[in-house]
A and B are shown apart, each in its own frame.
Chain A
Amino acid sequence: GQNIDQPTEMTATEGAIVQINCTYQTSGFNGLFWYQQHAGEAPTFLSYNVLDGLEEKGRFSSFLSRSKGYSYLLLKELQMKDSASYLCAVRAPGGFKTIFGAGTRLFVKA
């Protein structure tokens, strides 16, 4: 089976740094994704990790530890437009089935 856990909500201040954690217990693993979803809109891709370590892309970075079943998304220099849900998703091996967590709603305040 698949189980993906993320905090339900987080609040942070504009200009600050926030880390959103994700833990997973899955029967097999073939990569972990982070997606951003603004209210009323479709999810959009942020990052992909398949090997351990940190992947950096502008203000966003994502980390993976496969042995711990753990990932985090780091957002730097927060902007009001970063207020959204952040979805952690795991891809199953042998194909492209991708399972999503419930998402973390991030509120950025001035």
Chain B
Amino acid sequence: GAGVSQTPSNKVTEKGKYVELRCDPISGHTALYWYRQSLGQGPEFLIYFQGTGAADDSGLPNDRFFAVRPEGSVSTLKIQRTERGDSAMYLCASSLHTTGELFFGEGSRLTVL
């Protein structure tokens, strides 16, 4: 597809469960970002990848959160032992190395009951 694709668009889970959120960036974009956004707030930086490696993961809130991008394209954000406070919209974005403009996906809305 032409844009950033995220799946699932909605995920409802129970407290303590494991969740995976997937992001398929725009073809050829080397940088990939994960953000978390709560209602009425701006996107909160979690992690970004340059190619396959995590260039900066300083925004991951704790060790329950982990992200991978094994082949430099698709990325998966993994959340272990989910808590109700993890409920938010998780946004993925990608960018070309040279411009830095972020192209966002439609997001994955996570609800932890």
Interface size on A (CB < 8 Å)?
Answer: 21
In the complex, per-residue mask of B71-113: 1 if CB is within 8 Å of any chain A CB, else 0: 0000000000000000000010001010111111111000000
Which B residues touch A91, using CB under 8 A?
Answer: 100
Given A44-B104, A45-B102, A48-B101, the answer on whether A98 and B45 have CB atoms closer than 8 Å is yes
| Contact for A98 among B97, B100, B103, B105, CB less than 8 A | B100
In the complex, per-residue mask of A55-93: 1 if CB is within 8 Å of any chain B CB, else 0: 000000000000000000000000000000001010100
Q: Are B101 and A87 touching (Cβ within 8 A)? A: no
Q: Are A42 and B101 touching (Cβ within 8 A)? A: no
Q: Are B55 and A96 touching (Cβ within 8 A)? A: yes
A-B contact count (CB 8 A): 59
Q: Are B95 and A100 touching (Cβ within 8 A)? A: no
Q: Are A96 and B31 touching (Cβ within 8 A)? A: yes
Give the docked Cα–Cα distance between A35 and B104 (Å).
11
Looking across the interface, which residue of chain A has its beta carbon closest to that of B35?
Answer: A100
Which B residues touch A54, using CB under 8 A?
Answer: none
Give the docked Cα–Cα distance between A43 and B45 (Å).
14
Which B residues touch A100, using CB under 8 A?
Answer: 35, 42-45
Which A residues touch B95, using CB under 8 A?
Answer: 96
Q: Are B101 and A103 touching (Cβ within 8 A)? A: no
Nearest CB on A from B34, distance (A):
12
Q: Beyond the given A33-B101, A97-B55, A97-B58, could you list 17 further A-B residue pairs with CB under 8 A, ordered by the A residue number?
A: A35-B102, A41-B106, A42-B105, A42-B106, A42-B107, A43-B43, A43-B91, A44-B104, A48-B99, A48-B100, A48-B101, A95-B50, A95-B56, A96-B95, A98-B33, A100-B42, A103-B42
